[in-house]
Structure 1
Amino acid sequence: MNDESWALSPNTRKPLPQLIEDKIRQLIDSGHFKAGDRLPTEPELAQKMAVARSSLRTALQRLQLQGIVEVMRGRGWYVRSTSVSDRDESLVIDSRISDSDLMEVRIALEATAASLAALRADDGELDEIAKRAREHQGASTEDKEELLQTDEEFHAAVVKASHNELLEQLYRSLVPKLRGYRRNSYGSAELHNRSANDHNQVAWFLKRRDEGGARTAMTTHLLGLYNDLATQAGTAAGERAELNTFAWEDEPRWRDR
């Protein structure tokens, strides 16, 4: 393939990771890369597109969340699907659904994923989750793209470790809808520290195969985001649910305010 085929769109209104994502999707849709094909290595891709590897990783992670590519440990990135009908875009979410509603569903999905991961994840997957937690903790508070990328990679690793394909597809359909809010939510070192500590706690319970602890830790983590989101949206207390993570049976429970 000639170098011009790798040239990115000159659309300057889109962030660089989005332009990279569009180009890789274009190459897949055109048939240059087929399902099961291995993509060039990250250094090769970065060189072909003349971009930084950090922006490339963000684009690949977004494609992974959509079910288009997947990463295989020690082997690299592979095309997972070339059929539009097979992609998670078929799980259409009404654009009128509020971010708060999306977050409530995300809490339910990821709490379940965390508990399943505690039971089903292999040791390699648990190590990968812990690694992703460390990467998020070490991300620069000045780089919102890096914070968003490392956060999404951690959560995607937990969901993948649940070994539930439908749950993973549903999760991937939600993440892009909340990406704008998540990027804008990174505004202080304090918030980042809270997020990183929550990730570490989830990883700690998973490592110990503590199903209930992992579920509660993930729920508590996402509850903080949910409450922040509802507050920013100006949702009245009586119009949103409250999640009590200190119920008598030590399980999170919803209740209407």
Structure 2
Amino acid sequence: MDDESWSLSPDTRKPLPELIEDKLRQLIESGRFKAGDRLPTEPELAQRMAVARSSLRTALQRLQLQGIVEVMRGRGWYVRSTDVGDRDDVLLLDNHASESDLIEVRIALEATAASLAALRADDGELDEIAKRAKEHQTAPNDDKEELLRTDEEFHAAVVRASHNELLEQLYRSLVPKLRGSRRNSYGTHELQNRSASEHNQVAWFLKRRDEGGARVSMTTHLLGLYNDVASHAATPAAERATLNTYVYDSEEDEPRWHRH
């Protein structure tokens, strides 16, 4: 393959992982790689694109979230689907929908996914969710791309554990549209700690197969982002969703009710 075919777009408005994602999608859509094909190794891909492996891995994981590629342990990355043209729009979502509208739909989807995961996830999937929560907790506070990647991986793991393919497809349709607000939500150590703590709460309830607790703790977590976005959009408080929430008590090692 000629080197030129691996050159990234010069668009400086996009973060590097998104430029890599665009290039890989382009190569797959062009027929360079077909469904079932094994992609070059991560070191080889990074060399061809002249990028760091961390940025490459983020791009691959985003494509994995969209169902375009998949990783097979010990074997590498494979093309799962060549239908890349509309993978970001599994649903034909209104491009003019507000972020608040999108997050309200996301809350409904992920609350249901968490509830189903508490009932259906196997032990390996629960361990994977806990691992993703830990990765997000230990991500560098000043690396927004890593915070976004680990956050997306955690939520995607919960959605996959619901074992509902349609729900997963609906979730995939929302991920790209909310990426900007999710990235911008990071910036302070306090916000990262809040996000990490709430991920741990969700994992706690899932580990105990608590369907109701998993649903409510996921809703609580997403309401934080929702209220941040609604505040910036000047949405009247009376029109915002609210909920009695769980708060994690480290001394008792279990969540307790907190009424807002």
Following TM superposition, by how much is the alpha carbon of 1:20 offset from its aligned partner in structure 2, in angstroms? Answer: 0.6
> What TM-score, normalized to structure 1?
0.90
Counterpart residue identity of residue 33, structure 2: F
Counterpart residue identity of residue 61, structure 2: Q
**Where do 5+ consecutive residues of structure 1 fail to align?**
247-251, 253-257
TM alignment of 1:1-257, pairs within 5 A: 1-84=1-84, 87-245=87-245
Q: Deviations over 1:65-114 (max 9, x none)?
A: 22211233443322121124773524111022111111111111101111
Distance 2:54 2:115 in 1: 31
Q: Is the 8 A contact 2:227 2:240 kept in 1?
A: no
Distance 2:217 2:174 in 1: 20
Counterpart residue identity of residue 127, structure 1: D
Q: Is the 8 A contact 2:90 2:172 kept in 1?
A: no
Distance 2:52 2:64 in 1: 19
Give the secondary structure class of the aligned counterpart of 1:243: coil
Distance 1:69 1:131 in 2: 21
Counterpart residue identity of residue 14, structure 1: K
Following TM superposition, by how much is the alpha carbon of 1:187 offset from its aligned partner in structure 2, in angstroms? Answer: 1.7
Counterpart residue identity of residue 45, structure 2: L
Q: Deviations over 1:176-209 (max 9, x none)?
A: 1111111111121001001001111111211222
Q: Is the 8 A contact 2:39 2:76 kept in 1?
A: yes
Q: How many residues align?
A: 247
Q: Is the 8 A contact 2:119 2:209 kept in 1?
A: yes
Q: Is the 8 A contact 1:81 1:87 kept in 2?
A: no
Structure 1 range deviating more: 15-24 or 74-83? 74-83
> What TM-score, normalized to structure 2?
0.89
Distance 2:74 2:131 in 1: 15
Change (3 A) 1:138 1:124: same
Structure 1 range deviating more: 132-141 or 82-91? 82-91
Q: Is the 8 A contact 1:70 1:77 kept in 2?
A: yes
Distance 1:49 1:26 in 2: 13
Give the secondary structure class of the aligned counterpart of 1:242: coil
Q: Is the 8 A contact 2:87 2:173 kept in 1?
A: no
**Where do 5+ consecutive residues of structure 2 fail to align?**
247-256
